[in-house]
Amino acid sequence: MPYTPITSTQNNKVKLAVKLRGKRGRDQESRFLVDYHRDMERALHHGYQLDFALYCEALASEDDNVLVTALPNHRVYEVPESVMQKAAYRQNPGGILGVMHQKAVPHIQQMTAHDKPLLGLVNLQKPGNIGALLRTADATGFTTLLIDTTLDLYNPNIIRSSTGTCFLDTIYHATTQEAIDFFRQNAYRVISAHLDGTTSLFDTILTGRSAIILGTEDIGLDAIWVSHCDTLVKIPMIGHIADSLNVSVSGAVFMYEALRQRLATT
């Protein structure tokens, strides 16, 4: 069955897609863009609802074509390359672009304390780092807590760099004080990487109720978090120049060491 065509960049659906590139537009419309077939499939699999999709046959891959045939025909609009180029977030878009309804990110009050470590990200500012950390958190079985985060989970760069793991129900949000209160009330050990750390990562217990806290890319954790950490940890380094790691790399090192310890005790 042929899809309804859209040929003008002034079409309201195209204008909406353009609006959703920015956080303000996403907040106003409670919608977001997905411009890669794998990420759209994962969003749909985890209960996200499709508003509509734009489809460009000339740009479509085989995977795009398979996905579009699984979507309701009345929600798919066929567009030429010029319209897809206008609507998509990426400079070199594929053949399908989805506009999807947001879900509310659950609050820390909805999170149940459990006897395994969690990851806390405090005010990270780079969507690529957040996405990479969410991807690693899923790979290692971590729940993630976004603390004082100004970026939204539906930032296109977070979606893409997380490979769609941002759509999981293992991600919560909180303020700093709410997170600190939760850790106190539920007997979590608060652990962070820090340049002034005195304990080696490989001598740190990361099993059980441990909260691994990572700070901003440029200055790390602020004073309030340093004062509430039970252990400041240093990642061993034996190189000649490097004295720190990218926050997504540091987080990966921590999470995989925690996974190693967990597997060693099972």
198: helix, coil or strand? coil
**Global model pTM greater than 0.85:** yes
Q: Comparing 6-15, 79-88, 162-171, 208-217, which segment has the lowest mean pLDDT?
A: 208-217
Is the pLDDT confidence value at 1 over 60?
no
CB 17 within 8 A of CB 54: yes
Residue 191 CA to residue 255 CA, distance in Å, equals: 12
Residue 50 CA to residue 63 CA, distance in Å, equals: 18
Query: Mind listing the pLDDT tens digit for each residue in 26-66?
Result: 999 999 999 999 999 999 999 999 999 999 999 999 999 99
Average pLDDT, the chain: 94
**Which residues have CB under 8 Å from 173's CB, separation 6+?**
105, 106, 107, 108, 145, 146, 147, 149
Q: Are strands 76-78 and 143-147 parallel, antiparallel or unpaired?
A: unpaired
> CA-CA distances (angstroms) from residue 243 to 90, 194, 226, 254?
34, 11, 19, 16
- What share of the chain in percent tops pLDDT 90? 86
Q: How many residues does the chain have?
A: 266
- Domain residue ranges in the chain: 4-101, 108-264
Would the CATH topology of 4-101 be identical to that of 108-264?
Answer: no
Is the pLDDT confidence value at 100 over 70?
yes
Q: Are strands 96-101 and 31-34 parallel, antiparallel or unpaired?
A: antiparallel
> CA-CA distances (angstroms) from residue 71 to 53, 118, 157?
9, 36, 24
Query: Mind listing the pLDDT tens digit for each residue in 178-193?
Result: 999 999 999 999 999 8
CATH architecture of 4-101: 2-Layer Sandwich (3.30)
Instruction: Report the CATH superfamily, name and number, of domain 108-264.
Output: SPOUT methyltransferase, trefoil knot domain (3.40.1280.10)
Is the pLDDT confidence value at 175 over 60?
yes
Is the pLDDT confidence value at 217 over 90?
no
